[in-house]
Chains A and B, each alone.
Chain A
Amino acid sequence: MTGKPGPTSAKPVVNKYLVMEKSRLNETVFKIRFLANDIAERVLPGEFVNVRPGPTFDPLLRRPFSVYLANPEEGWIDLLIKVVGPGTELLSRLEEGDLVDILGPLGRGFDLETVGTAVLVGGGIGIAPLVFLAHELLFLKKPVHFFQGFGNAGEVCGLEDLEALKIAPVVSTEDGSFGVKGLVTDPLRDFLRKQKDPEKIELFCCGPNPMLAAISNLPDSDRWKAQFSLETRMACGIGACMGCAVPTFDGEQYRLVCKDGPVFKKNEVWL
């Protein structure tokens, strides 16, 4: 039950784009807005861009980021950048007016063709593609439920953008310092248990792999549909290096996160 792959934009472009603004959402997460007309007008929820950390070759490789929000009318895209190493550290130091080399849009995004009731489930920085998705789902007039987990209150980000969409997420933290104490799967499990019509439910999930695996192992998981956005180490982003392979559910082959994903249907890949 893997279904056909999700949608993919027209051709990607590689270009230098202007930083319009930057804001800090918490200790390590920055939101950066780029003036990128040709990406903004084509990118679909769940697709990503591959960003060069700087103009030199050190650090070397591009860093992949799901698009957090896109505004085709104003021609900008927002990315959430969490500082985890030297590449993201450099990106976090960008200032308004800087030019950044971005390749995109890339990959296959969320498939919204059959969605009934959408349940969005994010873990940490995994909130990024889900905010863009929520935007699109509201435009399509679909009911949206949002579950978002963080490690602690210091890691919380993105909630004000959901608020602007009038979405009230169920937020949990592992240490209980913000929202419900526990894993995001705890309130999600309760919610799913109460659903009279689980067949109409479709989950859209992005977060650490153990979280995605836990979701796919929830009780009655065969009754609802699910799509998972994955993160891996990646080099080219265009299906050439084959570095971002993940095993298929049957363990027989591999899929490329950059080209076949980053969004995969339930039971398509091994989480």
Chain B
Amino acid sequence: MSVICPNCEHENLDGALFCGQCGAKLVSGGVSTAAVKRTHDIDSTKPVSAPLPPPPPATEAFISLHVVRTGQILPLVGRNEFTIGRVSEGQSILPDIDLTPYEAYSQGVSRLHTTIKRKDNGEIVITDLGSSNGTRVNNEKIPAHTELILNHGDVISIGQFKLQALIRQD
């Protein structure tokens, strides 16, 4: 009866409190330690010969999110697509970026609210996932399930929670 990490799928012994591979918390209750979570990390426990997902193109973040209220900067590293939302109990699909530590619930953040994705052509797009309170870019509400190109400095409102997009200029 081992515990599979919801974040990186690493197999931990029953009773483990934190994932030995990625450090994600495996038990409910207590303080949230991770603001950024990944759901599709490469599983290091699999042998190298097994088919792996495509390797991350760059270790540097293609985009960072600036939390306007706290000044904190969250670089998005390792993949090309990130889901933003909040973790609540009994949820099977977890967002990559959990805004729970920022009082996400009272700010109107849905569980799976928005995704940010880098496309093959290098464009960075944002998509609202049909959230209850919607996503705004520079105060303009964007239609659900529709891709919109993000530019450096754009302010994204997820519910009432504001993030500024800092895009690396290659």
Partners in one complex: no
The residues of B with any CB-CB pair to A shorter than 8 Å are none
Binding site for B on A (CB under 8 A): none
